[in-house]
Amino acid sequence: MNTKQLRQKILDLAIRGKLVPQDPNDEPAAVLLERVRISKKEKSITPIIKDEALFDVPENWVWIELGKISEIVTGNTPSKSNETYYGNEYPFYKPTDLDMGLNVFAAGDMLSEKGFEISRKLPANTVLVTCIGATIGKTGIIRTSGCSNQQINAIIPKTDIVTEYIYFVCISDFFQDQIIENASATTLPIINKGNFEKLLFVLPPLAEQKRIVAAIESAFAVIDEIERNKTDLQAVVATAKQKILSLAIQGKLVPQDPDDESAEVLLERVNSEKKDGSFALPDSWIWCRFGDVCDYGNCDTVKPEQISDDSWVLDLEDIEKDTANIINYVYKSERQFKSNKHSFIKGQVLYSKLRPYLNKVVIAPMNGYCTTEILPLKFRIDISPKYVRTFLMTEYFLTYTDLHTHGVRMPRLGKNVANNVLFPLPPLAEQKRIVAAVEAAFEQLDRICFSLGQV
């Protein structure tokens, strides 16, 4: 269970009367409802009968329509053509202002006294709920009086209804699901005031509302701390991974073996000269140009009509999903590619040369084809594809690509630039030991990251 699910579990227990102990001395919610009736000057307020309730609640609770225990106000927008309506006196709330949730103190736009007077006024401690669009259901409590636009339904509580309790019910999956179910089934979902007022609301005694709010706030504070630690630890894990990669290409991750065939012998197979690099390497390693060991940019290309319908085809979106393993794939028949493709074989290094996907690198899990923005790397010597992937993921190489990408609209790493980057080449046996060590370390770190989402 991740922290988002944990919050919802707490809210679910709260609205079912299972979060805090029941107190038989609490004044029943039915008596509270009578005071609401008097304050609203209505002849009667009829609770929802048990057969219409969505789930069982304690005996001294009641089910009620939201509009029966509050005033629902849909906002409006003063004419933008009249500049005198806008100023610095009163906040004018929009959905984007509700990000602070429980404590909304400010708005991006402000109204003048004149604009405030012609708008639908909302007192402090009003609950605002977005009622239209992609963020439908987004909720916040305003802590200063103001107005809202027509995308928002405001809930102004009546006597003895705790504002924070309304807020927590509104952000629960139970209530959010009701909003979606009662919204118009169009490309732009909207729930009008009439339907919003009829949403079912579960009302406990006033004393229990207060206990529930205190319990939720206490639990959420703990979850907030967990999430802060999660973010900090994730940053540490990311830094640790880069440190491991850095040690790997410097020959400091695994012990040297004097019996390994030296990298200089490997390099002699392509008649290249060793170079001076950015940092010292073990004696059995050698600096060379990436182009000395890799045919960067020289790919086997095929035309779309040469690719069968059941062929495995990879594009930039697929390579973005995971930098270590390609999990999702498509077949040609599911996505029609019109341009030529590069072919690749299982185990080949696939590297994206185009931003924003630049430096995404995977090992092909099967034979297939890819868009021309992805390069299947071909090597001139016997070299571990996974070691090359390790190199391409290092901060050393990422910094190089940041400095040498070209193009304005679609920056990319050019063939000549990539071939000229200095490459630290270890003996083949050590390449394999490095890959095993990196994978083992990353597996441990990934376990930590996975556990961050568990409670």
What is the CATH classification number for the domain harbouring 149? 3.90.220.20
Are 200 and 123 found together in one domain?
Answer: yes
Residue 328 CB burial class (10 angstroms; 0-12, 13-18, ≥19): exposed
Residue 31, H or E segment: helix 29-40
Instruction: Kindly state whether residues 64 and 190 are assigned to the same domain.
Output: yes
Q: Are residues 350 and 421 in the same domain?
A: yes
Question: Which of 143, 176, 204 finishes a domain?
Answer: 204
| Domain match, 329 and 181 both | no
CA geometry: angle at 438 spanning 433 and 439, to 5°? 100
Point out the domain boundary residue: 146, 180, 204: 204
Whether residue 69 lies inside any domain: the answer is yes
| Same domain flag for 290 and 178 | no
Q: What band does 324 get if pLDDT is binned at 50, 70 and 90?
A: very low
Output the pLDDT for position 450: 74
In a domain, 20, yes or no: no
Number of domain units in the chain:
2
Residues 265 and 199 in one domain: no
Q: Are residues 187 and 312 in the same domain?
A: no
Whether 161 maps to a domain, the answer reads: yes
Cα distance between residue 53 and residue 56, in whole Å: 7
| Same-domain check for residues 268 and 192 | no
Domain that holds residue 331: 240-452
Task: Determine, yes or no, domain membership for 212.
Answer: no
Beta-bridged to residue 190, according to DSSP, are 132
Residue 219 included in any domain: no
**Do 199 and 264 share a domain, yes or no?**
no
Say yes or no: 137 and 41 in one domain: yes
Beta carbons within 10 angstroms of residue 272's beta carbon: 18
User: Amino acid letter at 355?
Assistant: R
For residue range 420-452, list pLDDT tens digits in order. 999 999 999 999 999 999 999 988 888 877 766
Counted residue by residue, the chain has a size of 455
pLDDT in tens, 127-179: 999 999 889 999 999 999 999 999 999 999 987 899 999 999 999 999 999 99
Task: For residues 388 and 25, give the distance between their C-alpha atoms in angstroms, rounded to a whole number.
Answer: 71
Q: What's the pLDDT score for residue 335?
A: 58
- Tracing tokens 């696939």 back to the chain, one arrives at 350
Write out pLDDT tens, residues 331-376: 565 556 677 888 898 889 988 877 666 678 888 888 888 888 888 9
